[in-house]
Amino acid sequence: MKSGRYNAGVGLLAMAGFMAYGFLLIYLRDFHADKEAWVASYSVGQHFEARLAHVHGNLFGFLNLVLAFVLARLASASDRARTAVAVLGLLGLLMPLGILGELYLGLSPVFVLVGALAMTTAVLLGGVLALRHWPEARR
């Protein structure tokens, strides 16, 4: 896991899934038979939550992709630290999935909080590792 391979693969798959979800949202807004009702409540309630999940799902997928490339450059960092960043990045996807879980399944918002904290910690720890272990450019 320390190389970030799963972060790259899962990040790209998450982006593809949340992009497809975005196409569904566009359909509901512009082409669905009841599009007027959708547009009327576009910025509140369930519609707002759906857009939050779409945006954060793509952002967190992209952040996993970035983490994968950063982790690949940090060969001098400890395996434990790189694995922690990789796992935390993947757990960050619980945030947008948690929003969808709240919206469609009535789940607790705990997944949203866990995911947000995990991704924030992954990015913070990844930044610290990059500052400490980034290989200097060859001349």
Question: Cα 119 to chain center, whole Å?
Answer: 8
Question: What is the fold, at CATH topology level, of the domain defined by 5-133?
Answer: Four Helix Bundle (Hemerythrin (Met), subunit A) (1.20.120)
Q: How many CB atoms lie within 10 A of CB 32?
A: 14
**What's the pTM value of the predicted model, to 2 decimals?**
0.89
- Give me the residue spans of the domains in the chain: 5-133
pLDDT digits (tens, 9 = 90+) for 105-126: 999 999 999 999 999 999 999 9
pLDDT digits (tens, 9 = 90+) for 9-47: 999 999 999 999 999 988 887 887 777 777 677 677 787
